[in-house]
């Protein structure tokens, strides 16, 4: 018998037993539809009117026809109840756009650049645009919940879903996620922070047990989610497949209740990843509110059995429903009709292109090889293996978007050349995956003025990459083509960091991530100078794979321990650039690195106060000047080194801003380090006290253009608690200092 048939049988068997709970529909207007009441009041009134069977039916998703949209055979929804005016709650995947949504086949939507690319923009406004497009299109398609943003760490570059996440730094990830969440929810769409927590790999993802120290868990892997709750007011969270220190994530009382709700004050609801529920009473009591995609454990029969055996009380079910209904009322889901409206394909596509242009990272540009001069170049040879050279590249799995349109690399180059009124020709040579026709590629390279090699990796949910080297011997392909024509730029389209053994022989390398539907236009406009690269790396590029923090089998992908796949996060706090700093390993390209077609200078650092009580904000002021010949943007990054006794890595990112400057223009920037912010920039986690603490001692405030290019630095002192003596006089009050909000003003 199928799960669906089991569910229907359970409903029939319970109908008579639950008849006493039935209540007739009210003749008067339903009281919970009164919009003058608070969302909490409306949720409480609704739950009072529900029968127990109706409550059971609302505890899990159900596939089938959506009553409000009869043409939609959906797989991601909770069916509504018409007598109570509970609408069908429709859910979509979507870290990189409206992906696998409720109806099948999935409706087309804008395929945005990958989330890791959005993070590479280091621009809060870009994250807002990202969420705005997804939120607007969710409303266009009558969808209510967006399963995103993805906020897991790029702990291992091999991770198959790194393209859906936001890089290796928890502060960057949380900052960008908060902006996206706020934009999504401004459209009345539930944002769902996922995957809670530490779902950092796909290998054995259903069974892996991760051993993570409590301090490491709070300072690295939980931190973006804490920011999403406290700064983003996120309406929902998705618990993940993996186990952390033993319990399954969807029945872990410590993370779902003690941390998420008690420590952080989360008032939203928790949904399981699809098939991540492992029990009825333990999961519900731990804090799981909604099972997806269909009931296996939260069936009417199982819930009734748990009630009968007194493992749970009806109040536990009411609590789970109240959490979800409160968010649905808060975001207007009960109060708006189901309406399907056209997506602004051209407008949203233009935004996707802008996002892609800010996301791309210029890794290398020897002797100003780029941008190409469209009026001097006579011929451009595009060369590469499929799919990088043949189509618009995006990641796979449940986040994959059915794009409204796509722009191929050749189309994009032709579009850009035409826009510049260039007479140059562009050709495409597709290299076989076994390089068997490499001679044809060499011939094309020899015949062209300039060559663009398109290379990369394709990754997807459900599988990790076996290596971070380019697959299908693309390194050999690149080396042969560069040898044939040294006027070659390499464009990477990949998941996260990649090994690049040929960089010393290539004059220019552009990292474009997975550009999405506007792929061809994004890459061509950057290469021809119609857009100036301004992205920064959200991950570290190593010289060798063994330089990475997780470089043993026990660390990744894990080993068998008594029949359970187990992985140990033994690198502790030293993830990403923190590992390279602590072990003095030189990366190929550091975190935060990214060049431009112009140059910038940082100067005149002023940090106030010099002596702090550890409670009030620290103001970091400096100048950014465009000393080159083109307009462009720089991303000054503020790092903080904690006192040595704190036992932290050498530094952590605590602030950044994207500053746009005309040639010769100079701006004064103020970045605040607020100890009270949810990212705890000056804090360490005290596992014994289960609280954050700010160590006393010397702190180094650094301002730079990457994690290794740091020209400015000043020290401050945080006094012990008993030495404060009301020293608030050290804090100048001439400017407001909102937590991690950056104020940029023209220098006078």
Mention every residue, 6+ apart, whose C-beta is less than 8 A from residue 20. Answer: none
The residues spanned by each domain of the chain are 3-20+34-106+124-330, 360-531, 548-576, 600-746
With tokens 């994004």, the residue in question is: 522
User: What tokens appear for 363 in the block?
Assistant: 């890794």
CB atoms within 10 A of CB 35: 11
**Distance from C-alpha of 680 to C-alpha of 642, rounded to nearest angstrom:** 12
DSSP secondary structure letter of residue 403: B
Q: How far, CA to CA in Å, does 339 sit from each of 77, 103, 161, 516, 578?
A: 16, 14, 32, 27, 48
CATH homologous superfamily of 3-20+34-106+124-330 equals Glycoside hydrolase, family 3, N-terminal domain (3.20.20.300)
- Architecture of the domain whose range is 360-531: 3-Layer(aba) Sandwich (3.40)
DSSP H helical ranges for 274-376:
281-286, 300-308, 314-330, 345-359
**Rounded CA separation 7/511 (Å):** 49
Contacts of 249 (CB under 8 A, 6+ apart): 195, 196, 197, 199, 239, 240, 241, 242, 243, 255, 276
Q: How far is 457 from 396, CA to CA, in rounded Å? A: 11
Read off φ and ψ for residue 326, nearest 5 degrees: -60, -45
- Supply the pLDDT for residue 159: 96
DSSP codes, 62-106? --EEETTEEEEEESSEE--BGGGTBPPEEEEE-BTBS-S-SBSSP
- Name the active-site residue from 102, 169, 252, 273: 273
Q: Model pTM?
A: 0.93
Pair 549, 571: CB distance under 8 Å? yes
As a whole number of Å, the end-to-end CA separation of the chain is 75
| DSSP string for residues in 568-628 | E-TTTT--THHHHHHTTPPPSB-TT--B-SS-EEEEEEEEE-SEE-SSSPEEEEEEEEE-S
Q: Give the pLDDT confidence of 367-391 residue by residue, as tens digits.
A: 999 999 999 999 999 999 999 999 9
- Residue 273 among the catalytic residues: yes
Note the residue count of the chain: 748
Going by C-alpha positions, the residue among 292, 276, 345, 334 that lies closest to residue 91 is 292
Low-confidence ranges of the chain (pLDDT < 50): 1-27, 724-735, 738-748
Q: Which CATH superfamily is domain 600-746 in?
A: Immunoglobulins (2.60.40.10)
Q: What DSSP character marks residue 448?
A: S
């Amino acid at each position: 018998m199928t799960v669906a048939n089991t569910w229907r049988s359970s409903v029939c068997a319970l109908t008579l037993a639950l008849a006493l709970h039935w209540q007739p529909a009210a003749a008067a207007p339903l009281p919970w539809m009164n919009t003058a009441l608070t969302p909490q009041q409306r949720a409480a009134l609704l739950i009072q009117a529900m029968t127990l069977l109706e409550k059971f039916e609302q505890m899990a998703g159900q596939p089938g026809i959506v009553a409000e949209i009869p043409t939609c055979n959906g797989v991601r929804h909770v069916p509504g109840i018409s007598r109570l005016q509970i609408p069908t709650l429709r859910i979509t995947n979507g870290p990189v756009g409206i992906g696998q949504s409720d109806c099948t086949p999935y409706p087309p939507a804008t395929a945005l650049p990958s989330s890791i690319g959005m993070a590479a923009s280091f621009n809060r406004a870009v994250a807002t645009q990202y969420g705005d497009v997804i939120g607007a299109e969710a409303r266009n398609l009558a969808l209510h919940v967006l399963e995103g943003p993805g906020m897991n760490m790029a702990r291992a570059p091999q991770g198959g879903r790194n393209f859906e996440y936001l890089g290796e730094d928890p502060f960057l990830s949380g900052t960008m996620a908060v902006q996206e969440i706020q934009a999504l929810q401004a459209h009345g769409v539930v944002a769902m922070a996922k995957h809670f927590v530490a779902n950092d790999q796909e290998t054995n993802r259903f069974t892996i047990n991760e051993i993570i120290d409590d301090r490491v868990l709070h300072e690295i892997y939980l931190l973006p989610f804490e920011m999403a709750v406290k700064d983003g007011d996120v309406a929902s969270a998705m618990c993940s497949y993996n186990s952390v220190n033993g319990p399954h994530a969807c029945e872990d009382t410590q993370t779902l209740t003690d941390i998420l709700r008690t420590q952080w004050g989360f008032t939203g609801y928790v949904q399981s990843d699809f098939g991540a529920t492992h029990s009825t009473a333990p999961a519900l009591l731990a804090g799981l509110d909604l099972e997806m995609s269909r009931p296996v454990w939260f069936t009417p029969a199982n819930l009734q059995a748990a009630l009968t055996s007194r493992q749970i009380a009806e109040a536990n079910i009411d609590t789970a429903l109240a959490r979800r209904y409160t968010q649905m009322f808060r975001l207007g889901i009960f109060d708006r009709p189901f309406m399907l409206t056209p997506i602004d394909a051209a407008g949203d596509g233009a935004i996707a292109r802008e996002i892609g242009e800010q996301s791309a990272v210029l890794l290398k540009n020897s002797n100003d090889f780029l941008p190409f001069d469209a009026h001097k170049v006579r011929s451009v040879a595009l060369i590469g293996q499929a799919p990088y050279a043949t189509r618009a590249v995006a990641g796979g799995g449940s986040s994959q978007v059915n794009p409204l349109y796509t722009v191929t690399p050749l189309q994009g180059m032709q579009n850009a050349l035409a826009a510049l009124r260039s007479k140059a020709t562009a050709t495409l040579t597709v290299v076989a995956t076994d390089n068997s026709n490499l001679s044809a590629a060499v011939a094309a390279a020899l015949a062209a003025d300039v060559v663009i090699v398109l290379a990369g990796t394709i990754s997807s949910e459900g599988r990790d990459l076996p290596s971070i080297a380019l697959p299908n011997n693309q390194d050999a392909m690149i080396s042969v083509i560069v040898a044939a024509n040294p006027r070659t730029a390499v464009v990477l389209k990949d998941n996260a960091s990649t090994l690049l053994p040929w960089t010393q022989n290539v004059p220019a390398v552009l990292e474009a991530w997975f550009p999405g539907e506007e792929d061809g236009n994004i890459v061509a406009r950057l290469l021809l100078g119609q857009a100036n690269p301004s992205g920064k790396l959200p991950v570290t590029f190593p010289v060798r794979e063994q330089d990475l923090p997780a470089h043993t089998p026990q660390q990744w992908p894990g080993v068998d321990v008594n029949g359970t796949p187990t992985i140990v996060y033994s690198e502790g706090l030293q993830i990403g650039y923190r590992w390279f700093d602590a072990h003095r390993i030189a990366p190929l390209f550091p975190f935060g690195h990214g060049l431009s077609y112009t140059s910038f200078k940082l100067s005149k650092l002023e940090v106030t106060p010099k002596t702090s009580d550890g409670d009030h904000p620290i103001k970091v002021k400096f100048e950014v000047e465009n000393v080159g010949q083109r307009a462009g943007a720089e991303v000054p990054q503020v790092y903080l080194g904690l006192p040595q006794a704190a036992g932290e890595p050498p530094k952590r990112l605590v602030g950044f801003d994207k500053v746009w400057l005309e040639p010769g223009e100079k701006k004064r920037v103020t970045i605040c380090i607020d100890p009270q912010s949810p990212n705890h920039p000056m804090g360490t986690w005290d596992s014994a006290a289960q609280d954050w603490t700010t160590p006393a001692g010397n702190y180094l405030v650094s301002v730079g253009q990457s994690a290794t290019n740091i020209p400015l630095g000043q020290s401050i002192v945080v006094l012990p608690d008993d030495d404060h003596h009301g020293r608030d006089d050290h804090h100048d009050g001439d400017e407001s200092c909102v937590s991690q909000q950056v104020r940029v003003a023209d220098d006078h």
